[in-house]
Amino acid sequence: MLLLCLQLKQIALGATLVLCFSIGLAITMVTVGVVAALGMRHAEKRFGSAFSTFTRRAPYASGVLITVVGLILAVQAVRALLA
């Protein structure tokens, strides 16, 4: 959007659009973070130690999942290049 406005020599419009987008994105990210933090507190109170164990292990499971998906995509890419 900014590049389009620069091309049309509407620098103020482009800067305003980027500023408004940035403010909206910041508000959205802060809101999601607050809701996630409050949700974590509520889940810890409701589910107790089982939820704590899950939250400690979740990053490892996520890392394994991302690694497996990456390996599958790499194998498919090599097969496509060799075919």
Q: Is the pTM of this model over 0.75?
A: no
Segment 54-82, tens digit of pLDDT:
888 999 999 999 999 999 999 999 999 99
Taking the C-alpha atoms of residue 39 and residue 6, their distance in angstroms, rounded to an integer, is 43
Segment 21-33, tens digit of pLDDT:
999 999 999 999 9
Instruction: Retrieve residue 74's tokens.
Output: 């790499």
- Radius of gyration, CA atoms only, the chain: 22
Q: Using CA of residue 79, residue 70, residue 65, residue 30, what is the dihedral sign?
A: negative
Ramachandran region of residue 16, left (φ > 0), alpha (ψ -120 to 50) or beta? alpha
